[in-house]
Amino acid sequence: MRCPFCAHPETQVSETRESDEGDVVRRRRRCHQCDKRFTTYERAEISLPHVVKRDGTRADFDITKLRASMALALRKRPVSVEQIDSALERIQEKLLNSSAKEVPTTKLGELVMRELKRIDKVAYVRFASVYRSFEDVDEFRQLIKDI
């Protein structure tokens, strides 16, 4: 770590502490050159893939958008917030484990549909009816038969 005072490249860690939540590490450092002390903070950086939309544009993955679309499908359904949070965590975990830098909205939509099918069939049908934008009533009937 470079010293912020004299830019010397070598510093020594004199003390390390973890935050109460355990998600941040605080380190006290001392510069070998100017002997000044300073504090650094370390935090894990989780990199979720970018979302590639149908028109080809790219956007950052936004969990709040995903939560909102799931909440719309789950509106007035007997599903707890914990179930929704768990589903969102499973989706994020699958995206992180895929190690892909980009994910198309079609793949993201399929992940959401899989989770909704698991927790509430009516919400699954609601989401699928908008997501797949059926042109034909027979296609919609087939989706319901598959459940």
Average pLDDT value over all residues in the chain: 88
Query: What is the predicted pLDDT for the residue at 79?
Result: 92
Give 87: exposed, middle or buried? Use CB within 10 Å, 0-12, 13-18, 19+.
buried
- pLDDT-derived band at 133 (thresholds 50, 70, 90) equals low
Model pLDDT for residues 18-42, shown as the tens digit of each residue: 987 778 899 999 999 999 999 999 9
What pTM does this model have? Answer: 0.63
Give pLDDT, residue 118.
92
Spatial CB neighbours of 135, under 8 Å, sequence gap ≥ 6: none
d(CA 55, CA 47) in angstroms, rounded, equals 23
pLDDT score at 3: 94
Per-residue pLDDT of 45-83, as tens digits, reads 778 899 999 899 999 999 999 999 999 999 999 999 999
Domain boundaries, the chain: 11-43, 50-146
